Amino acid sequence: MKPRLTLFAALLALVFSCNRKPEPKDLVVYFSQTGNTEQLAQLFAEQTGADLLRIECEQPYPDSYEGTIEMAGPEIREGVCRPIKNGPVDLEAYRTVYLGYPVWFGSVPPPVLSFVSANDFSSKEVVLFCTYGSGGVKSSSRALEKWMPETRILGRFGIAARRMAYAPAEVAAFLLGLTNGASDDEDGYSEPREVVDSDLELFRQATAGYDYLNLRPLMVSVRESEGECSRIFVCESSHHGGAPRKVEVLILQKGEDAPYLQSVETLQEN
């Protein structure tokens, strides 16, 4: 009798295991032109155990920086979705999608818009991540969110190309923050005040190498938490000698380390 019961139990377990839905997975999707975003995407995939998918253009951009800018600039201004090889993807098996891109002209590369427009993200949780020269996390995410208005955005991560050596630790800290329910909003900052000499000295240290932005700090807000001090400077900027505009410059300082420029964002006009 025992062997029959054992066989019955084994068959019953097999039936239940066949009917059990597979555990949802995560997916890292990215577009990369120079390799920085690809490196960042690989870090996200390694640290989350997600599958990895690169967005491929049907006709790649030129290898040179100048050639890419010359081609991509008009596409971004006109809202062109550049044709890609891997458009529609079966996202049913995925719970969270990490979507990565380099910031171009403060916005999102056309191949990424092509991928977003070809897929339904309405039932997905999405995390945005990007690489940039001086900033554009907020402006690029705003542009992207217009293409996916019903999608729940869990968080936004960005890192300057010159700080890629710090990416493993910063990605790990960001993912831990997501797990703990951390927000990427601007709560906890002091009321803006006029800059003083000590602010200007710190600002000069952090923005060394960004002379082309022609930044003039006007006001600053400060937030301190867990050994890190964040400062948002409202500045006037005449990028490459262009018309003056107001920008926010985020400067971070961890412990006794030197302060560094995290990002530059153009302020939205009211």
Q: What is the pLDDT of residues 194-244, one digit of tens each?
A: 999 999 999 999 999 899 889 999 999 999 987 889 999 999 998 766 788
Structure-token match 């602010």, residue found: 199
Residue 16 has pLDDT above 50, yes or no: no
Per-residue CA distances from 142 to 70, 164, 265 (Å): 23, 24, 12
The amino acid at residue 125 is: E
Cα–Cα dist 29/54, whole Å: 6
8 A C-beta contact, residue 227 and residue 252 = no
Per-residue CA distances from 245 to 160, 217, 232, 235 (Å): 21, 12, 16, 8
pLDDT in tens, 140-186: 999 999 999 889 999 999 999 999 999 999 999 999 988 887 666 56
